[in-house]
A and B are shown apart, each in its own frame.
Chain A
Amino acid sequence: MALALEALDISKRFGARWALSRLSFTLEAGRSLLLTGHNGSGKTTLLRLIATASFPTAGVLKVMGYHSQDEREALRPLVGLVSHASFHYEDLSAAQNLTLTAKFLGVEQPASVVTGLLDRMGLVARADSPVRQFSAGMRKRLAIARLLMRAPKVALLDEPFGELDPAGIAQMEGLIQELQRQGTSVVLATHLVEQGQRLTHERLHLEGGRKVTPV
Chain B
Amino acid sequence: MKRPSLLGAAWLVLKKDWQIEWRTRARLTAIIFFSLATLLLFSFAMGPDIVTLRAHAPGYLWLGLLFASVLSLGESFRVEAENQALTGLVLTPVEPRAIFIGKVLGNASLLFVLSLVLLPVAVALYDVDLGRDPLSLVLVLFLGCVGISAPGTVYSAISANARARDVMLPLLLFPVLVPLLLAAVSATKFTLQPDPQEQLGSWLKLLTAFDLIYLSVGFLLFPKVAEED
Contacts and interface: CB of A to CB of B under 8 A. Distances in A.
Direct contact of A and B (CB under 8 A): yes
Interface of A: 51-55, 73, 76-77, 79, 81, 85-92, 96, 100-101, 103-108, 130, 150
Contact of B84 (A79, A85, A92, A103): A85
A53 to B, nearest CB: 5
Given A90-B82, A104-B4, A54 B12 contact: no
Contacts, number: 75
A53 B228 contact: yes
Interface string B60-85: 00000000000000000001001111
B82 A106 contact: no
Given A76-B93, A89-B79, A89-B85, A103 B4 contact: yes
B81 to A, nearest CB: 10
Nearest to B27: A91
A130 B83 CA distance: 14
A85 to B, nearest CB: 4
Contact of B23 (A92, A103, A105): A92
B94 A87 contact: no
B136 interface: no
Contacts of A81: 91
A79 B91 CA distance: 9
Given A103-B12, A130-B23, 4 more contacts: A52-B91, A86-B83, A89-B16, A105-B3
Interface string B212-229: 000000000000000011
